[in-house]
Chains A and B, each alone.
Chain A
């Protein structure tokens, strides 16, 4: 097990190195002077010169690259051009709302997708199955901000059940915090739930056709126990795989959801940084989001052994 974990950990290094290189060259290889690009149209020559100086853009490319690699290795993501704050500190300040939002969305997506996908698989071909699949198709096709507008219009403006926007920090109590995240969480969960409901149905359908499921039925095991104890457990691997892959869509959706609902998290920080051309912050955020994605998928890989004891690393 441990050699496998180490090998798997090592395999994430080239991926993250490519991300870091990509982010580095993105700014330097874009046509035009990167310092002018960051400073914007109204900047004075002095301002442009300061940016060039602080980001080291006036040094040779190789030297910049070595400096950048050394910086990342030390966990230093540079300073914001806009506020002069350390990027790592800036990110640290904004992490709570995003983590809470993602958590609420994942829990909601699983709570919707697993029962619906299971139901669709058990009643394959029926009206219920078609309705669930149509719902999944709709969720899969609706951009997150349109779902958000719909939810706000009905549940916040219309029924007044939830606030239209804003975030209540966890420090002010768990319930007020969750209450402020229900609508954004639901909007964000939609796509994820659609993906998961589809894979749950597909994976379960495959398992339900296996001999051991028939045997369990023949032995007289209660149908509910067959599905939950025998089938779902064996369908878990494709499902957790999609949980991992879907994280990319979820993280992208966070940027949009936080903007629509005015949540001061990493997503809002991203849009703000981009509109202010605060490239060191953009760079740091891309790295952090990619690390999250890679780590989640690493955990997914390692979790296979939990679901299938035959897998020994």
Chain B
């Protein structure tokens, strides 16, 4: 009992130290994580300290940025500062949930296709078919049927993202399956669940993690596009896409209405993409071409 306890504690400490060393040698990854943590903190704190993002103030319409209204106000006098900061939560939530759903289903589908040869042909043809539909188009079509809500946005974007993830998982499984140590494990009668945990998942982890960062970034972009087109989060929610859609007629009179949510979105997506690239280079430089092409 004590032995296993101390062993796992030792391994845990080893991992923490390894993580610290990894971050020290990869300052870009550290920086990216810090920026994302900063956005997360903003998302958590904003609703509690800022004025209500949906409170109207008809006397303060379309005011340019000033000390009173840091980011100015919109056409019905709402605070753009509060709306922009509160919008962070929507983008991060959608990004994180889509990534989670995509990874889980991508693993399930990819592993089954990779291991069960009978399923492989059928499952991968279905994935190819879904991949032939441009992602944004598929997501708006799904939204038109599901109706607008954050949950449906997550489902719609995930359906468009899962096939690529499944394909990446499957191709790592196909490589791993032929390795001698896996053959040895099979001969030894290792149970499938144990083999997955011990051999397959650790080897598939690198490409999956890298792809997950791109899914995160792309999900935030697609969410904003859906909301911008009026097929995303309900218009009452101050998401960046909704703000940009409402700001469109005021581009000339009140450019700040477009600028702040636009910059926030681009900055967050940029950070996640830079993080993804840095992770890819750190984990496996050879992956670069496989994933991008």
- On whether the two chains bind one another, the answer is yes
A-to-B contact residues, CB < 8 Å = 14-19, 21-22, 26-27, 30, 37, 137-138, 140-146, 149-150, 152-153, 157, 195, 198-199, 202, 238, 241-242, 245, 248-249, 251-253, 255-256, 259-260, 270-271, 274-275, 277, 279, 282, 285-286, 289-290, 293-294
Contact indicator A141/B262 (Cβ below 8 Å): no
Contact status A18-B136, CB under 8 Å: no
Alpha-carbon gap, A157 to B258, bound state (A)? 14
Min CB–CB distance A269 → chain B (angstroms)? 12
* Cα–Cα distance between A144 and B224 once the two chains are bound (Å): 10
Are the CB atoms of B265 and A146 closer together than 8 Å?
A: yes
Q: Could you tell me the distance in whole angstroms from the C-beta of B156 to the nearest C-beta in chain A? A: 11
* Among A30, A238, A253, A293, contact of B293 (Cβ-Cβ < 8 Å): A238
Contact B229 A289 (CB under 8 A): no
Return A182 CB to nearest CB of chain B, in Å.
18
Number of A-B contacts defined by CB within 8 Å = 146
A267 to B: closest C-beta gap in Å: 9
A149 touches B144 (CB 8 A): no
**What residues of A have a CB within 8 angstroms of the CB of B248 in the complex?**
149, 260
Secondary structure at chain B's binding surface: helix, strand, loop or mixed?
A: helix
Interface residues of B, count at CB 8 A: 46
| B147 → A minimal CB distance (Å) | 9
- Residues of chain B with a CB closer than 8 A to A26's CB: 141-142, 145
A248 x B244 contact (CB < 8 A): no
Interface residues of B in 92-132 (CB under 8 A from A): 125-126, 128-132
**Does residue B274 face the partner (Cβ distance < 8 Å to A)?**
yes
Asked if A157 contacts B252 (CB within 8 A), the reply is yes
Q: A275-B230, A293-B132 are in contact. List 9 more A-B contacts (CB 8 A).
A: A14-B129, A142-B269, A143-B221, A146-B265, A149-B258, A199-B292, A248-B131, A274-B140, A289-B133
Q: Contact residues of B with A, CB < 8 Å? A: 125-126, 128-138, 140-146, 217, 221, 224-225, 228-231, 244, 248, 251-252, 255, 258, 262, 265-266, 269-270, 273-274, 277, 288-289, 292-293
CB-contact partner of B128 in A15, A245, A252, A256, under 8 A: A15
- Please state if B128 and A141 are interface contacts (CB–CB under 8 Å): no
Residue in A22, A138, A153, A202 whose CB lies within 8 Å of B292: A202
Chain B residues with CB under 8 Å of A141's CB are: 217, 266, 269-270, 273
Residues of B within 8 A of A255 (CB): 136-137, 140, 229
- Enumerate chain B residues within 8 angstroms of A157, measured Cβ to Cβ: 251-252
- Closest Cβ of chain B to A3, distance in Å, is 22
A253 to B229, CA, bound (A): 12
Contacts of B289 in A (CB 8 A): 202, 238
User: Once the chains are docked, how many angstroms separate the CA of A16 from the CA of B231?
Assistant: 26
Interchain nearest-CB distance for A161 vs B (Å): 15
- Residues of A near B225 (CB, < 8 A) are 143-145, 256
Given contacts A137-B274, A141-B269, A251-B137, contact A19 B132 (CB under 8 A): yes
Verify B136–A253 contact, CB threshold 8 A: yes
Smallest beta-carbon distance A284→chain B, Å: 11
* Bound CA–CA A3/B292 (angstroms): 31
